[in-house]
Amino acid sequence: MLRRRLAASVILALCAALLASCWDRSEMNELALVSMVGMDRDPDSGKITVYMQVINPASGTSAQGAPAGEQAPVYTYKVSSDSFAETQFTFYKLMPRKMFLHHAKAVIISERFAKQGLREFINFTELMPDARSSVPLLVAEGPVGKVMHTFTPLERNPAESVTSRLELLYEMAMMSGRRIEVRDVIERSAKGEIAVLPMIAPTARRGDPNSWELNAEIDANANQLKISGGAVIRDYRMIGRLTDDELVLHNLLDGGKGRFVRRYPFRDGHIAVNMKNRRAKKKLEWRNGKPFVRVRIRVDISTVGMSEFHPQTIGEIRELEEHVNRSLAGELEDFVDRTRGKGWDLLRIGGMLRRKAPDLPDPDRAAEEAEVGIEIESRLTGMGNMSRLYDETGGTR
């Protein structure tokens, strides 16, 4: 009996060797870890160019320090072809390791490609089992090749640098949203709604610095990448742009929960107000048979950063809050009117009608006719490090 059991366990143990996936094994040392993907399509010839930025495994901390021995943190491979499928495999003319896409942190597409439409690319990437769609999608201003061939200071891996900045821009400036990933473009386009993607551009160039030279350069503005502006995407196609200023307002309306600053005329000067979005709610109401979208936004304001004015009395606090309410609401109304005038339904009223009133015969028309009311409720909750500002010597306040 014991011998039989022993034999059985040996056989089972041998079977385990077969389970170790001999066909699909992937050794860390045999993988090319793609960190950023770039794409462009020539509108005339239709030729697709794909860039793959691959992490250089040798550029760890050990390679730093010795200037002559420093290696590039990433390598960019480029391939052109008539279809995405062809580019996928022609990379191996150049790349000595198996492409590993799962850790890709960002996808960058050229503006002209975005204007031609991204549906083909999106179908291609969703079909690929090893590509995730939860990656930020950015639109490059100018040639995408330049973006893919630019090192970034401080954060040496450009993809990390980009994603980290997107996060900071969302939390600290609301100039980036939460819905900027490939999957968001898919979902919103499929629903007939608008998505806004961040835009990226290389900054002014001096020479063609390599990674080491860039790290030795003090001017961090030159020779790197800058994230600024928003690309408006509808039906998988870029149809316009938003400025940074408009981007903040858009993200506020879209329910972003970050901090931001607005500057308004106040009393006899100006005032810059730090705000944090607490809640943004859209509600559909009906007035005279027409849809009315009521947007209610609650923001917290803080005396931090408000170096021009510090309220002292209840009256002054209310004055400040009401001033902010009026100014922000006015700005948002202007923004909504302006973009709706261009035919951009950034508030996604069409989608809202399709969801809340699915029996409506022509939701798109109703969305165009819909009225929008914006209400802001600001509350002074944050406090800076002072209870009174330093006055001008001999000043009156």
Partner 1 sequence: MISRTQFYLLTVNYTLGTTLFVTINAMIGEAGTDAWMMPLWAGLFGMIAALLWIALLKSSPGRSPVEIALEAWGPAGAIIGILYLAVFCLTAAWALRNLSDFMNETIMPNTPPTMFHVMFLLVAGYAVAQGSETVGRLNAVVTPFLAVPFWISLTLATAVWDWERLEPAFRDPWAIFRFPVLLGFPFLETFSLTMLYPKVRSGAAGALVLGVASAALSISLVVFMTLGLLGPERAARINYPIYTIVQEVELGQAFVNIHSVLTVILITLIFIKLMVLLYAAFETIGQLFRPASRWPHLLALAILLSSAAVAIYENPIQNRIMDEAYTFIFISFYAVLIPVLLLLSGWLRRTAAGRSRSRRG
Report the interface residues with partner 1, using CB under 8 A: 12, 15, 18-19, 21-24, 102-103, 126, 129, 132-134, 183, 186-187, 190-191, 351, 354-356, 358
Our CB check for partner 1 shows the closer of 132 and 298 to be 132
Q: Which residues pair with 200 in a beta bridge?
A: 140, 227
The secondary structure of 308-377 as a DSSP string is S----SHHHHHHHHHHHHHHHHHHHHHHHHHHHHTT--TT-HHHHHHHH-TT-S-HHHHHHH-EEEEEEE
Query: Using CA atoms, how far apart are residues 216 and 209, in angstroms rounded to an integer?
Result: 10
Comparison of 163 and 378: residue with beta carbon closer to partner 1: 163
Nearest CB to partner 1, comparing residues 283 and 379: 283
In 3D space, the residue among 135, 160, 140, 116 whose CA is nearest the CA of residue 38 turns out to be 140
In the complex, the smallest distance separating the C-beta of residue 19 from partner 1, rounded to whole angstroms, is 6
What residue type is 338 in one-letter code?
A: R
Q: Nearest approach, Cβ of 378 to partner 1 (angstroms)?
A: 26
CB of 24 to partner 1, least distance (A): 4
**Smallest separation, CB 279 to partner 1 (Å):** 15
DSSP 263-306: EEEETTEEEEEEEEEEEEEEEEEEETTEEEEEEEEEEEEESTT-
Closest CA to 271 of 313, 228, 327: 327
Nearest to 301 by CA among 254, 266, 262: 262
> In this complex, which beta carbon is closest to partner 1, that of residue 24 or of residue 268?
24
Question: Rounded to the nearest whole angstrom, what is the least distance from the CB of residue 242 to partner 1 in the complex?
Answer: 22
- The phi and psi torsions of 137 (rounded to 5 degrees) equal -110, 125
**Residue 359 beta carbon to partner 1: minimum distance, rounded to whole angstroms:** 9
Q: How far is the CB of 365 from partner 1 (least distance, A)?
A: 19
Closest CB to partner 1 among residues 254, 321: 254
Q: Which residue, 274 or 277, is less far from partner 1 as judged by CB?
A: 277
For β-strands 371-382 and 290-302, DSSP reports them as parallel
